[in-house]
Amino acid sequence: MRNFKIAFALTTLPLMLGGCAALGFGGSGSATAVEDKSGDSWMRMDQGKATPSPAPSRGTASATPEPSVSTATPDPSCAKVWPRTEPVFIPVEVTPGAGSLKVEWPTQYDSDYRVAAVPQELVSGLQPEPVWKTVAAGTEAAGTSCAVSTTITGLTPGAAYIVWLDAPNTGYDWDGTRHLYSGRSGVVYPK
């Protein structure tokens, strides 16, 4: 039995030392660099077959596409021209009144609207949620096909506010996000 173990060890020794090459599966087992007559360097992977050496490749830079924003085409029959500072903002005009703010804006896509007078007084802790007033397109007393207006009442005279305007039904993009059509005023003070 002892002789069998020694004979087995001696027959498997070339396999352990040579790996797959000892069985004829691996060729030389090493890669060598070779230069051909054209001056290009090649790497020899298998005996007799040269392959090109890997060359670093760089991608090309491309600009990120800008989001497309479209604004409603103004009605040519409207006499008032509304200035646009940014494509997604609906221009807002605010007229201070006694404890109130009259807000007017151009009609956008027959959407309904919501407005809020957001106080600018500093508060510690959580900021109070704005109180939104819903306004249907063209149903206010001063509403026309060109413009919509409403009055926000119950405000503190002399306090600073910014009016926010949102047109929530202006449609959706292909990915399901809502078109961003909104507006805001500068700081205004009710009388």
Per-residue pLDDT of the chain (191 residues; tens, 9 = 90+): 666 566 566 666 666 655 555 555 554 545 555 555 666 666 665 566 666 777 776 766 655 554 444 445 556 667 677 766 565 678 899 999 999 999 998 887 667 899 999 999 988 998 889 999 999 876 444 445 688 899 999 999 999 999 999 988 777 778 888 776 788 999 999 99
Structure tokens at 189: 């003070």
Domains held by the chain: number: 2
CA–CA gap between residue 191 and residue 151 (Å, rounded): 14
**Edge-to-edge strand list for the sheet holding 182-188:** 133-135, 113-119, 161-166, 182-188
Task: Residue 54: name the closest of 23, 31, 22, 27 by CA.
Answer: 31
Predicted local confidence at residue 55, as pLDDT: 73
Is residue 149 a part of any domain in this protein? yes
110 and 182 housed in the same domain: yes
- Boundaries of domain holding 20: 2-51
CATH number of the domain residue 107 falls in: 2.60.40.10
105 and 38 housed in the same domain: no
Cα torsion at 49, 52, 53, 56 (round to 10°)?
-150
Is residue 181 a part of any domain in this protein? yes
